[in-house]
Amino acid sequence: MNPKITAQMMRQLQLAPSLADLLERVWGSQNRFLEFDSVVHHDTLASHCSMPQGDPLSPFCLALWASAGLRHVDAAATNTAPALTLCYMDDRSMWSSSLDAIIERVNIWSAWSDFLKVKTKPKLSLSMSGIVFPFKTYIPIGVKMKLLFWVCPLPPNDGI
Amino acid sequence: MRRLTGFAGVRVGEACLPGPKQKSPDLASLLSINVGGAPGAWRLLEENCSEALVICLQEINMKPDEWTAYLRMVNKMGYNGFYQPGPSSSDKWGNSRTIGGTAMLIHRTLSHKFAWSQSHLGVQSVGVWIHGKLILNIYSPPGHDAVAAQLLGQWWATNKLDSVQWVVVGDFNADPEVSSAARFLTLQKGCLLGNPEIGSRWDSSKFIDWGMCSSPEVASFEGHHDHVSISDHKGFWVHVHQISCSSIRGRLKPAPSWIKPSWLDSCEWVELLEHSWTKIRTTPTHATWEKSMHRPSDSVDSVDVQIEWNLFIKNLNQCFIGAYENLMLQPGLSDDHIHELAQRLKKPGRRAKGAIATFQWFQDACCRRGHPNPGEKIRKLRRSLARLFEVRRLVRQNIRPPENLLQKLWPTTHELLSLDQLLCLAQDGITDVQRNPLKRPIVGTLDCMNGKVRINDPTLKGLASWVKRKTSAVASATVHYMGREASQPQEVNSLIHQYWTDLWRRSDIDVGHMANKLAMDFGPTQEHEWQPLTLNELWTACRNAKGAMGPDGYSGSELKHMPLGAIGDFRRCSLRWWETSYLPKQFMQSRQINIHKPHKIVNGKAEVSDLRPLSVLSCFWRVYSSAWATNSQLAYWANLYFDERVAHGKGTTVQKSWRHAFRTNMPPEEDT
């Protein structure tokens, strides 16, 4: 995710503009020392278009993107079947009683990601779509999961 | 004392490279041995692999899971391993066992690439390319000589070996004079490696372990491995020529680690640092920093911000050094404590601590046969001995040694020392170094002890990570990218660099357009008054600091003990950043540590894109960023505007959404 876009977005949302400037400076002009097997590469890697995973503010900024994405999907979805999408860091989980609703949402997510040049994992999306998981195999909260589609009956008037 | 060599003239300065010069020879030592089963293979590891650079093992009889455990040990010793198991059979109790099998262990300092492996009718072979030469290891059980020849034919047909240099070694269980495999290799213009007059087993005169090479310039026979018995076979040595072993490695300039002395608790250590900081506040460096900080922010540029930060780091470094020195003066310290403090103070690289990271090459020790490269540790020892001897020689002649030489030996006290004191110190230093030059440093021992403490942690966190590490699959593989393959770390780094450069080169984006789109999707927000971090917030973040050191050499365990005064100065620096948007260059550097994802390794190969990149930023920036991440203003804003279905940290609202989703969708009987 491009730090310049994140910083610009923060300024537009009036979210701590001074902090946005600092983040843009730190993330947008990183010189990385590459290490493999305790050996450092002699040439630094100039990184200007990625958010460092090891920064404590990265999850916060990622949540900015995810919130925008979720609201975009809500606004663009036409299928009226109840559906729920939850985001935990870079993982998304989608539930619905309708497979069509899930597929539509996945497609909207993918188009949105492509537009913003966010790197996604298309293989995972293809392999997982449409698979119905039995209840007992559901992964508990907090466990790492990527993109999980969940087709199950949602209670009526759930408000989702 | 009589001079052995050289002239009795007056030396100027000091020798630039004390000790004899040693150039690594242009060859690799290869050991080929039939280990007669897994115990023999393990015995060879206990013998430090006989210090060979390339090891060809035959008949190791290991099942795949046994090989995994073996490979883990092999990797720890600096080798990469390649294995071709033999066929499986069942014994009379129904237990399956693997018969035969060949393996090759290649030291990581050699640039190598896996070629091919094949098991054919009971004969196994495995081959590795090293510097353009194919090294092929074969095991042919008794009576399988014709099959071995057939397998060699397959190798030649598959890998087109007519025009390349090759070395074939192994246990053929047949004399080369009558062996079909030997005949085949002779037809390929092969030269024999071995001595037919000496039996290749301890209790037999039969010559069945031998090798061949494409020409005498490629390799030479160096004798049998007859000083250690690993199995019933002796094994033999071959020198493969024109192969250079690279022991030069890259690293960031090292800096000392100033962690809490082992016998103090955190409060005592912080108290000592506070005391040291009060002294720092009276120093000229701190006065310069104060003067700089009083300038208005609108007259400050990026250079000034850098200078302010460097001065702060200098003060902080001096605070840690002062605390150690004060502690040394305290009465009642045991010898071990004094030794620990002395080691910490003696660590070189003070100038690199907290500074902008710089890359440097260094020569790693490569204690392999034929490559007696002593490595940096021994060279440092020799250098320090040379300096001490030089001081002693000059003082005995009643000449004061050059100041730059004295400064290197006793950086803080050299100006105050008289000739008598210098002589005593030099003599003590020589005795100390000579007594036990390779004694394990006490700091390393303490690290081991800390590891044990972590394992015994009642939360079981340390134990769990230890078990996970022990049971995890071996993550060692050759790395691929765009048709290129790399096994040496330096080569892998080049591929990683290439991959990320290519990936980011393609990203051509319209920042304004995308930011508009994101802000529009996010929804409207209201203007807020944003205040910089308070001292309390930064203090909390400092005390909770943890994690590995950034490129500037400071780690979480050091920052968490920073004295309050230093945190106050840190905050004043951060106010400057807040007002000017300039930051020290240290924060624009990071370490990207690339590790294998074990489940992505297929057939010993992995793609560059499948490596996990972990970024480690400067610890000071991490603390600052962490203080913001837990800041109440940001939390308030997040509660107001973030979508509740998004989690971004502990205690966020999404956890409630998850719980709600589970409860509403789980059938009643499952909701327990």
For residue B510, give how far its alpha carbon lies from the nearest alpha carbon of chain A (Å). 9
Q: Chain B contact for A64, CB < 8 A?
A: yes
Q: Quick one: B385 and B343 in the same domain?
A: no
Q: Chain B contact for A12, CB < 8 A?
A: yes
Is there a domain that residue B38 lies in? yes
Q: Is the ipTM of this complex over 0.90?
A: no
Q: Which residues of B touch A75 (CB under 8 A)?
A: 521
- Is B492 in contact with A37 (Cβ distance < 8 A)? yes
Q: Quick one: B387 and B314 in the same domain?
A: no
Is there a domain that residue B601 lies in? no
Q: Which residues of B touch A69 (CB under 8 A)?
A: 521
Q: Quick one: B239 and B267 in the same domain?
A: no
- Is A29 in contact with B577 (Cβ distance < 8 A)? no
- Is A39 in contact with B616 (Cβ distance < 8 A)? no
Is there a domain that residue B495 lies in? no
Most confident of A130-134, B362-366, B487-491, B613-617: B613-617
What domain range includes position B646? 630-672
CB atoms within 10 A of CB B306: 16
Kindly identify which residue of chain A lies nearest to residue B493, measuring between CA atoms: A41
Closest CA to B116 of B156, B77, B73: B156
Q: Quick one: B144 and B59 in the same domain?
A: yes
- What's B131's DSSP letter? T
- Is B633 in contact with A16 (Cβ distance < 8 A)? yes
Kindly identify which residue of chain A lies nearest to residue B531, measuring between CA atoms: A16
- pLDDT-based confidence at residue B297 (cuts at 50, 70, 90): confident
- What's B89's DSSP letter? E
Residue B225 has φ and ψ, to the nearest 5°, of -90, 75
Lowest-confidence range among A57-61, B9-13, B214-218, B357-361? B9-13
Residue with tokens 């693997």: B98
Is there a domain that residue B332 lies in? yes
Q: Quick one: B92 and B196 in the same domain?
A: yes
The pLDDT value recorded for residue B438 is: 53
Q: Quick one: B242 and B261 in the same domain?
A: no
Q: Quick one: B285 and B380 in the same domain?
A: no
Is there a domain that residue B625 lies in? no
- Which is more confident, A125 or B318? B318
Is there a domain that residue B151 lies in? yes
Q: Quick one: B265 and B278 in the same domain?
A: yes
The pLDDT value recorded for residue A137 is: 27
- Is A2 in contact with B514 (Cβ distance < 8 A)? yes
Residues 92-111, chain A, touching B (beta carbon < 8 A): 95
Closest CA to B142 of B34, B228, B43: B34
- What's B192's DSSP letter? E
Q: Quick one: B106 and B214 in the same domain?
A: yes
The model's pLDDT over A36-72, given as tens digits with 9 standing for 90+, comes to 988 999 999 998 888 888 899 988 898 898 899 889 9
What's the structural domain count of chain B? 4
Residues 105-144, chain A, touching B (beta carbon < 8 A): 112, 115-117, 135-136, 141
Q: Where are the domains of chain A?
A: 3-55, 59-151
Residue range B307-335: average pLDDT? 93
The model's pLDDT over B577-599, given as tens digits with 9 standing for 90+, comes to 999 999 999 999 999 999 888 78
Q: Chain B contact for A4, CB < 8 A?
A: yes
Strands (DSSP E) contained in B315-434 are 359-363, 366-368, 371-373
What pTM was computed for the model?
A: 0.75
Helix (H, G, I), strand (E, B) or coil at B424: helix
Q: Quick one: B209 and B235 in the same domain?
A: yes
- Is B250 in contact with A67 (Cβ distance < 8 A)? no
Strand bridging mode B165-171 / B133-139: parallel
Most B CBs within 10 Å, among A40, A89, A138, to test the B interface: A40
- Which is more confident, B457 or B440? B457
Out of B561, B590, B619, a domain closes at: B590
Count contacts between A and B (CB, < 8 Å): 246
Q: Quick one: B79 and B158 in the same domain?
A: yes
E strand or H helix at B347:
none
For residue A152, give how far its alpha carbon lies from the nearest alpha carbon of chain B (Å). 8
Q: Quick one: B307 and B343 in the same domain?
A: yes
- Is B507 in contact with A117 (Cβ distance < 8 A)? yes
The pLDDT value recorded for residue A9 is: 93
- pLDDT-based confidence at residue A11 (cuts at 50, 70, 90): very high
Is there a domain that residue B426 lies in? yes
Q: Where are the alpha helices (DSSP H) in chain A?
A: 3-12, 17-28, 58-76, 99-115, 122-128
d(CA B466, CA B407) in angstroms, rounded, equals 44
What CATH number does residue B131 fall under? 3.60.10.10
